[in-house]
A and B are shown apart, each in its own frame.
Chain A
Amino acid sequence: GAVVSQHPSRVICKSGTSVKIECRSLDFQATTMFWYRQFPKQSLMLMATSNEGSKATYEQGVEKDKFLINHASLTLSTLTVTSAHPEDSSFYICSARVGGDTEAFFGQGTRLTVV
C-alpha cells in the first residue's frame, strides 16, 4: 500500500521557537495533503488542506500565519509551527491523497511538546 512518512515522530522545543514537520509520500505522488491536530483523547481536527503548487486552505480558527504549510512538490509537504507556545503542544498528523477520488493515506504523526 501507499506509504506516507512523517518526521519527526516526537519533538520538544522551547517556547518562542519554530518547529518544522515534514510529510512525504514515499511511493506515490500526493496531489493533496491534509494536516490534522489531535489533543489527547480527542478526535483528529483538520487544520488545513494543501494542494501541490498552491496555497493551503485553512480551516476556520486555524491561524495561517502561525501554521505555515508548504506543498512545493508532489511528494513533500511541510508544516511549520512558528513561535510555538505550550498551548500548541499536540499531536500533528498528515495524510496524503492521490487525485480526487481516492482515499488518503496517513503519516505516523508528530508529538509536539512546547516547554
Chain B
Amino acid sequence: GQNIDQPTEMTATEGAIVQINCTYQTSGFNGLFWYQQHAGEAPTFLSYNVLDGLEEKGRFSSFLSRSKGYSYLLLKELQMKDSASYLCAVMDSNYQLIWGAGTKLIIKP
C-alpha cells in the first residue's frame, strides 16, 4: 500500500533549527510537497521537490532522496509564528496526492 510517515509532534526552541522528516512508499512518484498549516486555517504551500537534493527558500529548506524514499523540511531561526502543523504529501503515478498525517511543531520561548 501507499504510506507517508512523519513524526506526530516535535518541540523546538525559538531561534533554533529543527528538521522534520518524512518517509514515503508510493506507487510511483511525481513530486513531494511540504505544507504548513496553522490551527483552524487552510494549509499553505512551502516547497516542492521532484529531483534529489536540497531546495532552499529563506529560512526553510527541503531535501529529497528518491532512492531512499525520504525527505526532510529544515526550519532555521525558528520564530513563534512557526508553530503549526507541517504536512508532507507525495504525488503518485496517478497524480493522486498521498498525504502524511502532519507533524505538529511546538516552538517554546
Which positions in A face B, CB cutoff 8 Å?
1, 9-10, 34, 36, 38, 40-41, 43-44, 46, 49, 91, 93, 95, 97, 99-104, 106, 108-109, 111
Contact = CB atoms under 8 A, between A and B. Distances in A.
Q: How large is the interface on B (under 10, 10 to 19, 20 to 34, 35 or more residues)?
A: 10 to 19
B67 interface: no
B40 A102 contact: yes
Interface of B: 31, 33, 35, 37, 39-40, 42-43, 45, 48, 50, 85, 94-97, 99, 101-102
Contact of B39 (A9, A101, A109): A101
Given A102-B39, A104-B37, A111 B95 contact: yes
B37 A108 contact: no
Given A41-B31, A103-B85, A103-B102, A108 B42 contact: no
